[in-house]
Structure formats: structure tokens, C-alpha cells
Amino acid sequence: MAGTGFGGAIAPTPLVRSWRTAFLTLRDETLTNPPRNSTAQLLHNLIFSHSHTLLSAAPELSSHEVLSDIVFLMELVASTSSDEEDCVHIYTQASRLVHDICRQVKFDINGSSFGSVLGSFGKMLDRFLGKDATGDKLTGICRAAAIVSAVECLHAIRCIITLPNRRWLQSEDTILVKFLLHVIVSSQGVSFWMPRSVYKERPAVINMSFSTESSSSELQAVSFEMLGEAISRAGSSFPVDIWRSMFEVVRKTMDVMVLKTSVVEDNAMSRFYESFLRCLHLILTDAKCSVSEHVSVFVAVLRMFLNYGLSGRTPSTLLVGQTKNNLNYISPKVHRDQLNKSDHSVYRPPHLRKKDCSNVKPNRATYSQYISDSESSAINVTSSDSDFSDGDGSAKESARGQYSRVRVATIICMQDLCQADSKSFSMQWSLLLPTSDVLQPRMRDATLMTCLLFDPCLKARMASASTLAAMLDGPSSIFLQAAEYKESSKVGSFTALSSSLGQILLEIHKGILYLIQNEAHGKLLALLFKIIRLLILHTPYSRMPPNLLPTVITSLRTRIEEGFRSKSDRNNLLDPAVGCLTLALSSSPSSAQVKKLLHDEVSSGYLEKEKKSGVLSLLFEYASQGSCPSICLEALQALKAVSHNYPSIVTACWGQVSSTVYSFLSIVCPEVPSKQSNEHVGSTTAFNNEKILIAAIKVLDECLRAVSGFQGTEDLSDDKVVDVPFTSDCIRLKKVSSAPSYELECKEDDVVNSEERESGIEQWCEAMEKHMPLILCHSSAMARAVSVTCFAGMTSSVFISFTKEKQNFILSSLVHTAVHDNASSVRSAACRAIGVISCFPQVCQRGT
């Protein structure tokens, strides 16, 4: 057992005596005036020449004694003034020794000594990173040694302060963050992208666990990793001035990156980029100050990493086109597969791979040298610093995984920026989204859509989709209503914001619809459906190309008809897919091209022949499948939207609507309490059946309004208002939300013609005889309320065409319901319907 040296209870071991002798002698010699030997000689004779013995002794000593001695050693090195040759020796030996000792000893540092320890390390780092150590007068060898020593010190600090389950004080995190920010700023004064000449001059004395080539970026990487750890622990408690300081340091780091012509693609720099971007993600996620002044710079720098590791990997043969208006784009999936091609051979053990690599011909070109092997492998790739690692197959594969993680971190930071300041970020859309040729793999001018379409890493594509959804879902999406598509003018001419937004929306539509048609991954498809849903909600289709909305509807219908790969995907994706189709059909104002699309389907006889190759056929098919309530409800909502926006096709679809509603009325639906208890599992089916029935009755109501030419109760000019003095010249046409949209019909016909009104009478008669008797006496109060609302959509022309018997049936039923029904919602609906019908001149004249 190692001796403690306290109280003389146990004699110290020889290793402990060696340690204490070395450091006590060093302290005594440094206090001698005048000194008998130089500091460099003392350090060499007493410490560095016995480094192996000291390393063996450190675990046998108390952590407090070891920490006190290494702090003294660092302060001594920091105060040393030596020539260049001694500088190299002292820096490399001292930093190496401190680093190795800190890795072997578990320090229990308390709050009182935390600041002093960091202060000592700070002095040493200032010495390493100062002008004296890295100035122009020193050779590349000495400058590299100083940077390597700084990295070693930073690793040592990490070992000292990082203990499992250590309880951090807020003051300690604050001190650490200030220290790290100072280190980062100081290191930015050092050219950590050193010239190749420095590497060639590397002497044998610099014997580190990592190369000099990687040490410069390692310094920045470790600093940002530690900063990120501190933010994760206590970022929410940092004062505002700390947050401002962090943003200033990040901004300075990005300014340095902007000065470079391009990003560096190697293992060392990719680790720095990843550390920096992950730290930026933590800063943006929980920022306590405004980021608006930094958004433009951040976006400009982040955009440089969208194609990191993929630059120059787009062969010219990929651009295949026919004509300007009808391009034959190569499949993005094929493009990714071509990028993923690799000369996979028989498995080779790790210890033989380096020999294999040395035998490869230098002029052999393969895509695999830059990007990941496959989408699935890129997800779980882990980095490795060893050329002989067997974890992922080869160091080359590890580098590809590292590159993909940089791209993923970049896209996540863009999403953070969007969520932190949506307004400022929206001004950068033209840099991040394409305005033309979205399906062309232009990797040198990458956008978020480029990543979504062509990136071989699935995680990067998922992150791109999530970021795009955040951009479309944020408050800034409101300004999309100003979008207007115009044909592109001369190159270089000014483009208005509205035109730019119109081009962006069109290209996003193209890319997302292509992916919806061809993507097979379930989670990515779910994000794609979310994006197209947001696009439909925020795109002003009336100012976009006329065929855009029909293309959206046709693409969604085709994807739904083709189905999904697995049962789980079908359960999870069919509902949002039909929901997107519902939104597209609900888009207002109505589209003449969509109307033509629906009319072509009806006129082709698809409904009668039961061919499942049209939008309406698809909707009726899913509307009749009560086994999946959510999909059935979405299909019924879509049919209601079709009836509302395109009433002229309802007559041709009436037969299917009538039979569909009647099939749901035949289902016995018991009364469901308004507040359903989650404990009664058996009531879930009845509750779903009631929701489906209500949705079906609403479809019936909308169809009856459409075929009868209902325009709203407020527009009664044909009955009373025209004859009232002083008002005939002041009639204002009001758009009633409950009335079907007749804009397209009014462009062709002033009003619904007499033939359509006669057709509406036929549908009303069928509903009165077939549906209403079952609905009015239904056990569900909500179903009765919705059915009574149907009478509020009746027109006077339809009512007067009924026989006296049917008119009396309508009035008596409504009065009886308004007086005697148990549910207040039903009585309210009946009173509203009575109010509508009582305005008809025929009813007023009867005095009933």
C-alpha cells in the first residue's frame, strides 16, 4: 500500500520519496538567489529526466499534493524566459508530463481551489499561445510545439475538472466559461491552419499521442467541446453578459472561417468543425440574448458546410436533359447510389488494411473516398482515430462518418437559427433554398433542398426535412402570402421579393413531390408529408403556375394508390397522406384546373366502373372503410371539401355520396357521453362510429347545398330586400362560409341554371325519403343536430318544389325537434333551421 507520509504511521514508498524529493528540491533551487542553474536545467535534471518515475509515483500520492505540485510546475514554466531551443524542450516535456499525470490521478477539486487551478493553467496557456511562443520570429517547429503543448494542457484541465457525478457550482461553470472563451480568442491569434512546411520540419522531440498536423484544430475542438459541456450543465443560469461574450467569440470564429477560401476536408478539421457546430447548437437552443445581428453571418458560414465532404463529387454525366421545358432529370436516388459506389472487396483484418491501402494505385478514382458507404451505415458510424480500427471497417469510412456528422450539425444549427429569430432568418431564404433546377445535383451551390434530395447520409436528409418544416411552420411563413410566380427574366436583373418567393415555392414543390413519389423510408416520408401540408397551407396557388395545385393533388393520389412498403408505414403514413389531399382540395380560391381534373374523372365514367384511378374514386374507397376511423374521417373531410369548392361535380357523384352516408346510418350507434371516460375501452368504437357518422352527414349537407345553389341566408335579395325602399341600390354581396364556392361557375354561368336546380330537387327528395327519417330519430344527439342543420341550407326554390305533404313534414319535424328534443344542441340547430325557412316568401304567405 502506498504511504501517505502523514503522522509517520506508514513509511512512504520509494516512488513517493522520489516524487517529494524532486519537487522539494525544485522549490528550494528556485528560491536560491542567485540561482545556481537555469530553470531549463533544473527542470531537465529534477523533473523531465525522471518523468517515468514521477508518473509511477503519482497514483500513490494524495490528489491534493499532486495538484499542488503540478500547479507549481506550470507556474514555473509560464515564468520561464528561454531561447528557442529551450522553449521547444520545456513546452513539450512539461505539457506531456502534466497531461499524463492528470490522466492517472482522480482529482477532487473543491470550489475554493477551482479558480486558482484554472488561473495557473491560464498562465501556462498564455505562455504557449502568446506572441513570444507563436510569433513570426520563431520557426515552424517551435510554433507547432507551443500549440501542441497548449492542447496537452487543455486535455489536462479536462481530466482534472471532469469527474463522474461531480456536483458543479454555478460559480465554477462561470469561471470555466470565461477561461475557455479566453483560450478560444487567444488561439484565434495563432494560425491553426499551419502551412505544410511546419509538418515537414517536425522533429523527433515532439513525440505526442496525436500528430502536429492535428494539434492546431484539436485545440479549438477541445475548447468548444468543454464549452458545450458547460452550457449543457448550467447554460440557463448564465448571466446575459456571458451569453453575449459567447456570441462574440462564436462570431469571431466564424469571421476567421469566412476569410478562408474554402473549408478543409480532413479528419482533424472535421472534428473541430463538429465540436464548434455542436457548441453553436447549444448556444442557439437556449440563447438569453438577441441573435438577430448575427443571423446573416451565421447563415453565410453554415452554408459552406452543406456539402462538406461531398464537394467535387458530382460527375457531369449526371446532368441529363432533353428540352428546356421538359427536363429528364436523373433520379436523386440514383445519384446517391452512384456517390455511394465503392470497390468493396473481401473482408480484410484491421492489421492488414494499411498494407492494402499502400498498394492502391494513385490514379484510381472512386466515389467512396469522400462519402459514406450507404444511408444506413451513415446513421451509426462512429469516429476512430486509429487506422487499424475494426469498428467501422476502415479509417476512410470513419472519415466519411465524421463528414456526415458535420453536415448534420450544420443543418441542425440552421433550424436553431430559424427558431431563435424567424424574422431575421426568413431574409436568408434565397441563400438556403433553390430558385431553379431543384432536381439538378449542384453540390457546389448546395441548398437545403440539395441535402434533402442528394445527400447520401439519411440523418442529413432527415435534418434537412425537419429544418424545412420548421421554416415553413414558423411565424415567418406569413410573408409567403406575398409570393407570386413570374417567368425568370434576364440573368442578373433585379428580382422582386414576391417573385423570388414564388420561384422558391415552385422549386420546393417540385423537390418534395418528387421525393414523395420515390422515397421509401417511413420516417422521412412522414416529414415530407408534413412539409407538403405546410406548403399547401401557405402557398397562394392563385398566383402560382396554374398546373401546380393539380400536380400536387395528382402526386398525392398516385402515392396513396401505390401504397407503402410495410404495414407500420401504411398505418402511420396513409392518414397524413389523405390529410394532405384534403388540404389541397380545400385550397381557396378554387382552381379551374382542379375543376377540370375532377370533371375529366367524372366524365370518363370512373365512378360508375369502379376503377380506382382517380381522386374521387380513391376518396370514396377510403370513405367506405370504417375499419380505420382516422383515414375514413380524412376521406370524408376531403369529399366535403370537394363539394364545397367544386359544387358543379356533386350531381355526378350524388349516387356514391348517398350510398356512403346510408351505409353509416345503418350502423347502430349508441349514445356516447359528451365527456368520454378513458377507462371504458369498449366505448372507443362507438365514439369513433359517431364521429364518422357526423362527418358523413356533413358531406350530405354540403352536397345538398351544392346541388340546390345555396348561397347563404344573408343573400336574400331575390325574396325581400330588393323591394324594400332605399336599399335596392345598396345591396352588398356577402360570402357566406357555409355556402359552396360558385366563383368558377359564376364565371361561366351567372347563377346555377334551372337544370341544376331541378337536379337539386331530386337529391333533396331522395334525402328526405332515404336519409332524414333515419337521422332525425338517431340515438346520437350530435348526429341529430347535424342532420337538422341540413335544413338550414335549403333554398326557397327547392322548398317550393316540394309537395304540401313534404313541406308540412319539414316544418312539423323542425318544430317538434325545437320543442321536445332532449339535447340543447339539437334544439338550437332546429331553431336556426326554422329561422331560415321562415324567411321564404311561401312560408310567410302561408302564415305558418
What is residue 686's predicted lDDT score, i.e. its pLDDT?
Answer: 72
Looking at the domain assignment, is residue 641 inside a domain? yes
**Residue 374: what pLDDT?**
34
pLDDT of residue 201: 39
Residue 544, pLDDT > 90, answer: yes
pLDDT band at 1 (very low <50, low <70, confident <90, very high): very low
Query: Cβ(834)–Cβ(788) under 8 Å?
Result: no
- Residue 107 in any domain: the answer is yes
- Mean pLDDT, range 74-91, rounded to an integer: 72
Per-residue confidence (pLDDT) for residue 607, from 0 to 100 = 60
| Domain edge (last residue) among 165, 183, 211 | 211
pLDDT over 90 (residue 188): no
Taking the C-alpha atoms of residue 156 and residue 167, their distance in angstroms, rounded to an integer, is 19
The pLDDT score that the predictor gives to residue 432 is 93
Q: What is the pLDDT of residue 845?
A: 66
Q: Is the pLDDT of residue 739 over 60?
A: yes
Q: Which long-range contacts (CB under 8 A, 24 or more apart) does 763-768 make?
A: 763/651, 763/654, 763/658, 763/703, 763/704, 763/707, 763/708, 764/704, 764/707, 764/708, 764/794, 764/798, 764/802, 765/802, 765/806, 766/654, 766/658, 767/658, 767/700, 767/704, 768/802, 768/806, 768/809, 768/810
Residue with cell 418567393: 501
Please give the share of the chain, as a percent, with pLDDT higher than 90.
36
- Between 281 and 774, the more confident residue is 281
Tell whether the model's pLDDT for residue 208 goes beyond 70.
no
Sequence-distant (≥ 6) Cβ neighbours of residue 836 within 8 angstroms = 713, 791, 792, 794
* pLDDT band, very low/low/confident/very high, at 563 (cuts 50, 70, 90): confident
**pLDDT value for 444:** 74
At residue 598, the pLDDT reads 92
Measured between alpha carbons, how far is 810 from 770 in angstroms, rounded to an integer?
A: 14
pLDDT for the residue numbered 213: 45
Contact 660, 620 (CB under 8 A): yes
Give residue 160's pLDDT. Answer: 86
Task: For the beta carbon of residue 497, count every other beta carbon within 10 angstroms.
Answer: 14
Q: Given pLDDT bands bounded at 50, 70 and 90, which one contains residue 190?
A: low
Residue 138 has pLDDT above 70, yes or no: no
Is 24 domain-assigned? yes
Which tens digits make up the pLDDT trace of 565-619? 888 888 889 999 999 999 999 999 999 999 999 998 888 866 665 555 789 999 9
Question: What is the 8-class DSSP label of residue 541?
Answer: G
Contact (CB, 8 A) for 189 and 129: yes
pLDDT at 250: 94
pLDDT at 108 over 70: yes
Asked whether residue 287 is assigned to any structural domain, the reply reads no
Q: Which of 211, 240, 268 is the last residue of a domain?
A: 211
How far apart are alpha carbons 162 and 166 in whole angstroms?
Answer: 7
pLDDT at 421 over 80: yes
d(CA 283, CA 750): 61
Has residue 197 got a pLDDT over 50? no
824 or 34: which carries more pLDDT confidence?
A: 824
Mean pLDDT of 247-260: 88
Instruction: Give domain status of residue 481, yes or no.
Output: no
Maximum average pLDDT range among 394-408, 411-425, 468-482:
411-425
d(CA 659, CA 696): 11
> Residue 305: its pLDDT value, please?
93
Q: What is the pLDDT of residues 286-329, one digit of tens each?
A: 888 889 999 999 999 999 999 998 875 543 333 323 333 433 44
Q: Quote the CA–CA distance of 351 and 503 in Å, as a whole number.
A: 54
Instruction: Flag whether 134 is in a domain.
Output: yes
Length of the chain: 848
d(CA 684, CA 317): 57
Higher per-residue pLDDT: 387 or 370: 387
Provide the domain count of the chain: 2
Q: What pLDDT score does 714 carry?
A: 43
Buried-exposed string 124-158: b where 16+ CB fall within 10 A, e elsewhere: bbbbbbeeebbeeebebbbbbbbbbbbbbbbbbbb
Task: Out of 155, 190, 211, pick the residue that ends a domain.
Answer: 211
Of 116-130, 215-229, 271-285, 721-735, the range with the highest mean pLDDT is 271-285
Residue 744 pLDDT exceeds 80: no
549 domain residue, yes or no: no
807 vs 811: CA distance, rounded Å: 6
CATH number, residue 785 = 1.25.10
Mind listing the pLDDT tens digit for each residue in 465-487? 999 999 999 777 788 888 898 87
110 or 787, higher pLDDT: 787
Predicted pLDDT of residue 734: 47
Specify the pLDDT at position 360.
Answer: 39
22 within 8 A of 13, measured Cβ to Cβ: no
Tell me which amino acid residue 420 is. A
Residue 615 sits in which domain range? 588-672+685-713+735-848
Query: Alpha-carbon Rg of the chain, whole angstroms?
Result: 38
The string of pLDDT tens digits covering residues 625-667 is: 766 888 999 999 999 999 999 998 998 889 999 999 998 887 7
Q: Given a cut of 80, is residue 116 above it in pLDDT?
A: yes
Q: Are 429 and 314 in contact, with CB atoms under 8 Å apart?
A: no
pLDDT score recorded for residue 486: 84
What's the mean pLDDT when you consider all of the chain?
A: 78
| Nine-digit cell string for 346 | 473481401
Assign 36 a pLDDT band (cuts: 50, 70, 90).
confident
pLDDT band at 548 (very low <50, low <70, confident <90, very high): very high
Measured distance CA(442)–CA(435) in Å, rounded:
13
Band (pLDDT 50/70/90 cuts) for residue 279 is: very high
* Calpha distance 669→831 (Å, rounded): 25
Q: Provide the grid cell at 36.
A: 545556481
- Domain-located, residue 93: yes
Which of 231-245, 408-422, 757-771 is predicted least confidently? 757-771
CB 598 within 8 A of CB 619: no
Q: C-alpha angle 188/192/193, rounded to 5°?
A: 130
d(CA 391, CA 383): 9
* C-alpha of 424 from chain center: 18
